[in-house]
Structure 1
C-alpha cells in the first residue's frame, strides 16, 4: 500500500497536508498525534472509505479494519460475526475465537459480551479476512490498562503468526512501542508528519 497525499480538507478547511506513507506485509507503522489532528481521517483514506482527497492511493493489498467501536452484528452470534463478513469456514472461525480467548462464547450475541470480549471478537473477524495489512483505529481506547495490555500482546502475536502489516492509529506512544510499530507523528494545521 502506498499513499502520496497532497492534502485533505473538510468544507474547505485543510485537515491533512502533504504526507507519504508506504506499508507492506510484515511492516508495522503507528500514526500518533493528539485527538482531532486527522489520524482517523488518514486511516479512512488508507481503507478506501474516503476517496475525497488530493493525491494518490495505490496497492492491491487485502485490508481488514478494526475500528474504535467493535462494529459487530448485534443480531448474530459471535461465530457468525466472524464467518458472515469474511466467508471463512466455521471451524476456522471457532479456532480464531479460541486464539483470542473466546472459547465458550462462540454462540453468544455481542450484547452478552463485555467490551473487551467484543473487541477480541472484532480482532478475530479482522484476522479471519486474512489481511495483508491490518488497519486499527484506537482499538484499545476505553479498556482498562490490564485488558488493553493483553489485547496488544494478542494483536502482536496474531500479526507475528499471520505476517500481516499494521497501520495503528493511536495517541499513545507506548501502544506503538508494545506493538513494535514505527511511529509517525502528526502535528500542525493542516497536520503533517514531524520528526
Structure 2
C-alpha cells in the first residue's frame, strides 16, 4: 500500500500535512498521538471513506476496517453480520466465529452479545474476506484490561495466520508492542508522521 497525503483540511483548517508511508505485505504499523491530532482522519483517508484530501492512496489487494465501535447490523444475526458484508459462505463465517470464540452463536443478534463478543464478531467479519491489509481504529478502547488483552492476543494470532498488513490507530504504545507494530507518531499542526 502506498499512502501519499499532501494535505487534509476541515473548513479551511489544516489537519494533516504531508504524510508518506509505504506498507509492505505483512508489515504492521501503529499510529500514535494525542486525541484530536488526526489519527482517525488519517485512517478514514486510507480506508477510502474520506476522499476530500490532496494526495493519493494506492492499495494492493483487499482492505478491511475494524472501527472504534463494532458497527454491526442490529437487524441481522451474528452469522449474517459476516456473510452479507464480507460476501463469504456460511461455512467460512462459522469457521471464523469458532476461531474468535463465538461457536454456536450464529443465530444471535448483536443486542444478545456482550460488547466483547460484538468486538470479536467485528474482528471475524474483517478477516472473512482474507484482507491483505487490516485497518483498526482504537478497537479496544472501551474494553476492560483483561478483555482487551484477550482481543490483542486474538488479533495477533489472526494477523499471523492471514499474513495481512496492519495499520493500527491507538493511544497505547503497549497495544502497539503487543501486536508487534512499528510505532509512528502523528504530531504538529498540521499533523505529520514521525
- Please indicate the TM-score interval, normalised by the length of the shorter structure: over 0.9
User: Residues of 2 paired with 1:140 and 1:150: CA distance?
Assistant: 10
Displacement after TM superposition at 1:36 (Å):
0.7
Does residue 148 in structure 1 map to residue 148 in structure 2?
Answer: yes
Displacement after TM superposition at 1:6 (Å):
1.1
Does residue 127 in structure 1 map to residue 127 in structure 2?
Answer: yes
| Per-residue Cα deviation, 1:123-179 (whole angstroms, up to 9, x for no partner) | 000000210000000000100000000000000000000111100001110000000
- What's the Cα RMSD here? 0.8
Structure 2 matches for 1:173-188, cutoff 5 A? 173-188=173-188
Q: Give 5+ residue unaligned stretches, structure 2.
A: none
Q: Give 5+ residue unaligned stretches, structure 1.
A: none
1:46 — aligned with what? 46
- TM (norm. structure 1) is 0.97
Count of residue correspondences:
194
| Per-residue Cα deviation, 1:59-88 (whole angstroms, up to 9, x for no partner) | 232100000010101011101100011111
Does residue 65 in structure 1 map to residue 54 in structure 2?
Answer: no
Q: Is this contact kept in 1: 2:60–2:132, CA < 8 A?
A: no
User: Residues of 2 paired with 1:60 and 1:153: CA distance?
Assistant: 26
Structure 2 matches for 1:15-94, cutoff 5 A? 15-94=15-94
Secondary structure, counterpart of 2:186 in structure 1:
strand
Secondary structure, counterpart of 1:159 in structure 2:
helix
Secondary structure, counterpart of 2:5 in structure 1:
strand
Q: Is this contact kept in 2: 1:24–1:132, CA < 8 A?
A: no
User: Residues of 2 paired with 1:60 and 1:150: CA distance?
Assistant: 30
Secondary structure, counterpart of 1:61 in structure 2:
coil
- TM (norm. structure 2) is 0.98
Secondary structure, counterpart of 1:78 in structure 2:
coil
1:4 — aligned with what? 4
User: Residues of 2 paired with 1:37 and 1:58: CA distance?
Assistant: 23
Secondary structure, counterpart of 1:155 in structure 2:
helix
Displacement after TM superposition at 1:23 (Å):
1.1
Query: Which consecutive segments of 4 or more residues in structure 1 shift more than 2 A?
Result: none
